[in-house]
């Protein structure tokens, strides 16, 4: 009896490996975010052509509007009117690359590797977004510097400048979050680039370059009630000492970030990586 019992005990299957038996070491979401932010910034520095174009295009646009069209559009002082619009246009150009970068991660195998590593794969998206905000703030500083060199004369004090930087940062974050979402839903980097192109037209249908009153009457409603107009008018107001639509601008930015963030969080685990 004892022998049979011993034999039975010897053939019992051992305990199955549990989650605790697996490697428990990993990287926290905060640390993962820092890693991916650094990765995106390094890639940005290596992509010199892309960084130069993100800065050069808005500067060229500003020079075009102020030196070629400025006299015909509004005469003297037009540069003070147009620079806030160029700043937001700069944010759009700079953030557009995020859609392509996110889509490339999702389709070129990078995200598949991240999901097998002891990190939070979703923080790769956070890395793209935060790095884009940093890049765009640098590009915005360059645009403002060029504007000052060619005649832009803001009257804001330190508080006004801080307010303008805050609104610009919120807008960059909002538009970058939208481009990141586009990168998640697009089937390829080329498609992501095409979808995001639509957003770049928003400043042209706003008060960025000309007053809304000068537009065709049927376009007034669209220009007045889209997010870019209150943001531009707030930046213009705090820098030049005019009226602002600060509450509306902040609500637009926060609403866009919230909606894009929720949709991205819902979409990310459902996106098939390959």
Q: What is the pLDDT of residues 100-119, one digit of tens each?
A: 888 887 777 666 676 666 66
Q: What number of residues does the chain have?
A: 274
pLDDT for 22 equals 38
3-class DSSP state of 175: helix
Euclidean distance between CA atoms 58 and 79, whole angstroms? 14
Is 16 part of a structural domain of the chain?
Answer: no
In a domain, 272, yes or no: no
Map residue 74 onto helix, strand or coil.
Answer: coil
Confidence band of 71 (pLDDT split at 50, 70, 90): low
- Report if residue 252 sits inside a domain: yes
Q: How many domains does the chain have?
A: 1
271 occurs within a structural domain:
no
Domain of 109 in residue numbering reads as: 29-266
pLDDT at 176 over 80: yes
Long-range contacts for 59-64 (Cβ within 8 Å, ≥24 apart)?
Answer: 59/142, 59/143, 59/146, 61/86, 61/89, 62/86, 62/143, 62/146, 62/147, 62/150, 63/146, 63/150
The tokens for 144 are 């403002």
> Quick one: average pLDDT of 144-163?
90
What pLDDT digit, counting tens, does each position of 236-252 carry? 999 988 888 999 999 99
Whether 149 is covered by a domain: the verdict is yes
Structure tokens of 63?
A: 């020079």
Is the residue at 20 inside a domain? Answer: no
- Predicted local confidence at residue 58, as pLDDT: 78
- Whether residue 126 is contained in a domain is answered as yes
Question: At 2, is the pLDDT very low, low, confident or very high (cuts 50, 70, 90)?
Answer: very low
The DSSP output letter for 64 is I
Task: Report pTM.
Answer: 0.80
Judge whether 18 lies within some domain.
no
């Amino acid at each position: 009896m004892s022998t049979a019992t011993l034999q039975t005990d010897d053939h019992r299957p051992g305990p199955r490996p549990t989650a605790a038996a697996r490697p428990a070491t990993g990287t926290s979401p905060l640390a993962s975010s820092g890693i991916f932010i650094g990765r995106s910034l390094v890639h940005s520095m290596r992509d010199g052509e892309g960084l130069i174009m993100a800065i050069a295009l808005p500067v060229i646009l500003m020079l075009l509007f102020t030196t070629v069209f400025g006299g015909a559009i509004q005469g003297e002082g037009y540069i003070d009117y147009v620079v806030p619009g160029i700043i937001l246009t700069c944010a759009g150009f700079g953030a557009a690359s995020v859609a392509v970068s996110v889509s490339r991660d999702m389709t070129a195998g990078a995200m598949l590797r991240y999901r097998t590593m002891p990190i939070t794969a979703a923080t790769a998206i956070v890395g793209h977004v935060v790095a884009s905000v940093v890049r765009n703030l640098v590009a915005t500083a360059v645009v403002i510097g060029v504007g000052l060199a060619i005649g832009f004369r803001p009257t804001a004090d330190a508080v006004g400048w801080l307010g303008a930087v805050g609104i610009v940062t919120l807008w960059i974050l909002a538009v970058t979050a939208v481009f990141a979402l586009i990168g998640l839903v697009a089937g390829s980097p080329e498609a992501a680039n095409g979808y995001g192109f639509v957003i770049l037209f928003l400043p042209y249908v706003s008060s960025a370059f000309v007053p809304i009153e000068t537009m065709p009457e049927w376009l007034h409603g669209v220009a007045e009630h889209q997010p870019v107009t209150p943001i531009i008018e707030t930046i213009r107001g705090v820098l030049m000492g005019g009226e602002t639509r600060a509450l509306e601008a902040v609500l637009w930015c926060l609403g866009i970030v919230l909606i894009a963030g929720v949709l991205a969080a819902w979409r990310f685990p459902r996106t098939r990586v390959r």
